[in-house]
Amino acid sequence: MHGNRWLKREHDATRRLFDQYERVNLLAARRKEDLFLQLRQKLETHARVVREILQAAEEDAAAGALGEAADHVLGTLTRLTNLLDEIALVASGEKQFDSKIHLLREHMDTRVREEEYSLLALAERRLGRKRIRELGARFEGRAERRAAPGADDPAVSAPLQRHVGRRAIA
């Protein structure tokens, strides 16, 4: 699968999760927490994939640097990861939880537009279609092997592990 198509498919899946979250009854804290865990897993995986694409484009000797566009996206991914960490520390029944999820969606929607319409096209021009397809196949294989948040993936953040552990205790 083409790497950019994989990312766009993931964008659509993430949007559907946000849509589900927004339809959940305010009293359904457990369901919101479950959706957050799914969102978090998807967004952290997505951030790693984008970083790998950028790294591959930067390392390609013929490509040259991606410059400010890559720096901007990396900064945005860092802010997204920080927001996910903040949400993981808030109880799902608190109003602040909903506010932060709303902020996360706005942040993600903006980032997706930037990513799909500028950075991915630039990365594809730098890496070529064949290399982007190879990366897409690798990402898709990784996603299929993962059965649960954090499974076989040491890069899942500590706050997610704490959140999953806190949920199991409750």
Q: How do residues 75-106 score in pLDDT, each as one tens digit? A: 888 998 999 999 999 988 788 988 999 999 99
Distance, CA of 87 to CA of 141 (rounded, Å): 29
Dihedral-angle region of residue 124 (phi above 0 means left; psi in -120 to 50 means alpha; beta otherwise): alpha
CB atoms within 10 A of CB 55: 12
The domain locations on the chain are 3-169
What would the mean pLDDT of 116-140 be, rounded to a whole number? Answer: 78
Residues 6+ apart with CB under 8 A from 103: 83
28-61 per-position pLDDT tens digit: 878 888 889 999 998 888 888 888 877 777 776 4
pLDDT at res. 158? 42
* CA 64 and chain centroid, separation: 26
Predicted confidence at residue 100, as pLDDT, reads: 92
